[in-house]
Amino acid sequence: MNSRSDEFSNAASALAADGWCVLSNLLEPAQTRALTDECAAMHEAGQLQPARIGADRVASALRGDSTHWFDSGAMTVAQRAFSDRIDALRIALNRELMLGLVDCESHYAVYRPGAGYARHLDCLRDNDARVLSAVFYLNQAWLESDGGALRLYLADGSSRDILPQAGNLLLFLSAQFEHEVLPATRNRMSIACWMRQRVLVADR
């Protein structure tokens, strides 16, 4: 049942039914660990920058993370492993759901203790290229008492809290789900990734 060609079928079905899901078979634990170590080392070395919001890149009190965008021309071995698997997932979802996802953009994000991201939608204003949001978590042995859940708001008015546990990939339709990052008591690391469609307007 878990052959290479249908390994993402469950995710595709869940996305089609609910618009969101959590997938745990994206990477081997050692590959996730390599990303955890790299993200932590880059953060220590001051290589992540305070995040900005929107096309006008305004710094905002709404958002407390620091980020480092992956550069497709200069990825590390760990980043390449992640990117290759995300692309395999993107292609499988295109095949099963006909989503027309043409590429991905990804960044490391670190939230220091106490930092969060207020309730928001991932679609940038005037730009509907982002179809699917994917957040891959890098925190080994995360506990509920550490806080830092991603709170996903569902259409029926309820919400789900997803812990940022290493190896888990949260997927949701970018235009449909408001969500927020609750503050944590320890550094909270992830890769935020967006799968995009072609947008037929001039770049602004």
Q: Distance of CA 56 to CAs 43, 88, 125, 174, 180, Å?
A: 25, 32, 10, 20, 21
Q: Which does 196 bind (CB under 5 to 8 A by kind): Mn ion, ligand OGA, none?
A: none
**Residue 122 Cβ vs Mn ion, minimum distance, rounded to whole Å:** 4
Cβ distance to ligand OGA smaller for residue 41 or 118: 118
Under the criterion CB under 6 A, does residue 150 sit at the interface with ligand OGA?
yes
How many residues touch ligand OGA under the rule CB under 6 A: the total is 10
In whole angstroms, give the CA distance from residue 148 to residue 89: 26
129 in contact with ligand OGA (CB under 6 A): no
Q: For ligand OGA, which residue of 78, 82, 122, 187 counts as binding (CB under 6 A)?
A: 122
Q: What is the DSSP secondary structure assignment for residue 70, as one 8-state letter?
A: -
Do the Cβ atoms of 99 and 131 come closer than 8 Å?
Answer: yes
Q: Which is nearer to Mn ion, 89 or 109 (CB)?
A: 109
Distance (Å) of CA 16 to CA 157, 171, 175:
19, 12, 14
Write down the residue that tokens 């990804």 correspond to: 106
Output 38 or 122, the one with its CB closest to Mn ion: 122
Task: Say which residue the tokens 């932590």 belong to.
Answer: 40
Binds 190: which of ligand OGA, Mn ion, none (CB < 5-8 Å by kind): ligand OGA
Q: Does 38 bind ligand OGA (CB under 6 A)?
A: no
Q: Is residue 195 within 8 Å of residue 131, measured between CB atoms?
A: yes
Q: Which residues bind ligand OGA (CB under 6 A)?
A: 109, 117, 122, 135, 150, 164, 179, 181, 190, 192
